[in-house]
Structure 1
Amino acid sequence: MKIPNSIWTLLIGIVLTLASLWYGQNHGLLPSAASDEADLVDGLFNSMMTVSTGIFLIVEGVIIYCAIRYRRRAGDNEDGPPVHGNVPLEILWTAIPAVIVLGISVYSFDVYQQIGGLGPSKENTNPVATETRSAPGTAVAATLSDGQPLLASDPQSDGDNPADSEALPASVKVNDNSEIVVNVTGLQYAFIFTYPDTGVVSGELHVPEGRQVKVNMNANDVIHAFWVPEFRLKQDLIPGRQTELSFTPNKLGNYPVVCAELCGPYHGAMRTQVIVHTQEDFDSWMKQQQIASAQQMEQAVALASYTEPMGISSEIIPNDMHAAHHHH
């Protein structure tokens, strides 16, 4: 019994669809997911992989079929029958890709909007960018710090002393479930993370598990890109403009932060990490950084009080130290 071509087409279509759906969900090409937003991006990626697998199987299948079915046979030296344009077929292979591209575009737009990537770009107002322009050695120091905080040294206190807690600014909110805002500045060849509500500045990004984090990003010199593969986040940092993203980490651990935009000869060294803490550990880290900042300020005031009577020009004293002395 000869099976009609329509039945063969239906069976092949079912097999290709099932194969595409299976591989689209089981490709294993992505790293482990460590944020709520990763599920959104993974859904988009899996959908694109499903469609791509189906198209690949159809195209390769047709090529293989035609190579076998219409191969040159022994003793057959005649040309094939002339074939002119097939309008319905041309419409079909134009319409289908157009629908696929449009669908993926709308899906991508929705995902990008949900993770906050479509916030209004605006002129750079991040104070970190202004401060770091006057410190040309800061970037190199950050890349050589072996993961240690950039501008906040490790404190001697463990933060358990009640007096240490009293020294913290009132803006520190322990065990607060509100959104955490972090300003991210990219410069050759480091990322600098500033917590504007506390004044803490670090060469690493520290965040608590389960709380939404909003990052406001800008660049100090050239275009950089903030990329955390496990969070499925990638966003350009542009000089003079601010970009932003939001994410909620949901898995404890250390995850690499990589610059994904060629930014100079040492681009490959522009790496740091994001550390996801429990809320308790994050509060402890924040206290320690604030205590360290307070100790650094006291040292700055002491330095300024010694240098000025010695006739050392205030111009060679870092601005923050000089200002702190007069304020004190």
Structure 2
Amino acid sequence: MKVRLVLILGAVAVAIALISLWMGQAAYTWFPPQASAESILVDNLFSFLVTLGTFIFLGVVGTLTYSVLFQRAEKYDLSDGPHIEGNVKLEIIWTAIPFALVIWIAGYSYQIYDQMSILGPMEHSHRAMMAAADAAEMSDSQTSETERIQVLARQWAWVFRYGNGADAVSSTELHLPNNRRIKLVLHSEDVLHGLYIPAFRVKQDVIPGRDIDFEFTPIREGKYRLRDSEYSGTYFAAMQTDVVVQSPDDYQKWLADAAITAPVAAYNRAASEYAKRANATNWATVVPAAPPVVNYAN
């Protein structure tokens, strides 16, 4: 009887494991296409969590279902259940297993964040203090491997600046070369904003009064969406734009074409909507910043 019970429980565990693995693989289809190297890491972590969560969920629900169906008291049986004192072995098991799972999840998550070069608040502060020294020590070969783009967030528009001095190019649409390491230097003119690109699985708060470095690597050409993930005021929903990932040659051609284009005031949805209700007095709001003047406006 014991052998039969062990075989049944083993078969059930294998079935639950297979279903959990299938669910974990299905989790990859719940997101936009993987458009950055970081998205692969994030999706792997999410698939792992879905697999583990499904296994635990089915195990718990299966045990409860079996108990309800086959271990119920007889009808009209109002007697007390057996008096059972604490079981040290059982308590150690149900404490050790969750503890091991939490450590496993934490270790795997930290490994993913480390590979993505996610910076915490203290690291951002340290990075800001050491920026000048790092720039002085950085070789030309290292600089050429990373595309540096300045990102300015304001209520309610994104402005992207490429290069410095007379050759600088600005746009309201983020253009990126494919398979190149990207370093965004984020700055907010007013309040807290959040740079979020779902297809890249990356998000970074943009904090007023602080320049924040944020790096990732696009790996798939196409057009994606950038959104403000933080509530930054009345028109924050309008603070979104396209992210265009191009081949390195097309990216350089776009930069060259934009450099010879005269700057113009870009269309700004927030400013346009505010202008339509300029005479309204029933509610107050922050006046949007003036539409940005850029070389390329989407």
Same fold at TM > 0.5: yes
Q: Deviations over 1:230-257 (max 9, x none)?
A: 1111122122334333222222211000
Check conservation: 1:124, 1:240, Cα contact below 8 A. Answer: no
**Correspondence for 1:105:** 106
User: What pairs up with 1:277-296 in 2 under 5 angstroms?
Assistant: 277-292=246-261
Could you tell me which runs of 5 or more consecutive residues in structure 2 were left unpaired when the two chains were aligned. Answer: 129-142, 265-298
Match of 2:51 in 1: 50
Q: CA deviation at 1:177?
A: 6.3
| Pair 1:2–1:178, CA change in 2 (3 A) | closer
Q: Which residue does 1:121 correspond to in 2?
A: 124
2:5 equivalent in structure 1: 5
Alpha-carbon separation, structure 1, partners of 2:127 and 2:239: 22
Q: Does 1:178 align with 2:179?
A: no
Query: In the alignment, what sits opposite 2:159?
Result: 192
Which stretches in structure 1 are left out of the alignment for 5+ residues?
126-175, 297-328
C-alpha change, 1:268 and 1:289, in structure 2 (3 Å) is: same
1:157-193 CA distance string (max 9 Å, x none): xxxxxxxxxxxxxxxxxxx962101122322222222
Q: 1:243 to 1:69 in 2, by over 3 A?
A: farther
Counterpart-to-counterpart distance in 2, 1:108 and 1:26: 20
| Structure 1 residue 98 displacement after superposition | 2.1
User: Residue 79 of structure 2 aligns to a residue in which SS?
Assistant: coil
- The aligned counterpart of 2:242 is 273
Mean Cα displacement is larger for which, 110-119 or 267-276?
A: 110-119
2:233 to 253, 264, 276: 264
Alignment of 1:159-170 (within 5 A): none
- 2:169 partner amino acid: V
**Counterpart pick for 1:213 among 182, 190, 194:** 182
C-alpha offsets along residues 117-176 of structure 1, whole Å, 9 cap, x if unaligned?
227313998xxxxxxxxxxxxxxxxxxxxxxxxxxxxxxxxxxxxxxxxxxxxxxxxxx9
Match of 1:303 in 2: none
Q: 1:10 to 1:223 in 2, by over 3 A?
A: same
Mapped to 2, the partners of 1:106 and 1:244 lie a distance apart of 25
Partner of 1:37: 38
Secondary structure at 1:34's aligned position in 2?
coil
Aligned-partner residue type, residue 45 of structure 1? F
CA gap of 1:30–1:5, structure 2 versus 1, over 3 A, is same
Residue identity opposite 2:108 in structure 1: Y
2:18 is equivalent to residue 18 of structure 1: yes
Q: 1 CA distance for matches of 2:106 and 2:185?
A: 25
Paired residues for 1:228-267 under 5 Å: 228-267=197-236
Q: Distance in 2 between matches of 1:243 and 1:70?
A: 59
User: Counterparts of 1:63 and 1:244 in 2: how far apart (Å)?
Assistant: 50
Aligned 8 A contact 1:193 1:203 in 2: yes
Amino acid at match of 1:291: I
Identity %: 37
- The answer (yes or no) to whether the contact 1:123–1:241 under 8 Å persists in 2 is no
TM-score, reference length from structure 1: 0.68
- Aligned equivalents of 2:159, 2:24: Cα separation in 1: 37
Do the aligned partners of 1:32 and 1:230 also contact (CA within 8 Å) in 2?
A: yes
Distance 1:82 1:218 in 2: 65
Distance 1:212 1:260 in 2: 23
Aligned residues: 245
How is 1:150-165 mapped onto 2 (pairs within 5 angstroms)?
Answer: none
Instruction: Indicate if the aligned counterparts of 1:189 and 1:270 stay in contact, CA closer than 8 A.
Output: yes
Equivalent-residue separation in structure 2 for 1:87 and 1:196 (angstroms)? 66
The structure having more radius of gyration, on CA atoms, is 1
Counterpart in 1 of 2:289? none
CA RMSD of aligned residues (A): 2.5
C-alpha separation in 2, matches of 1:203 and 1:114: 30
Change (3 A) 1:2 1:179: closer
**TM-score, normalised via structure 2 length:** 0.74
Partners in 1 of 2:190 and 2:96 — Cα distance?
44
1:271-304 per-position Cα deviation (integer Å, ceiling 9, x unaligned): 11110112222112111222225x78xxxxxxxx
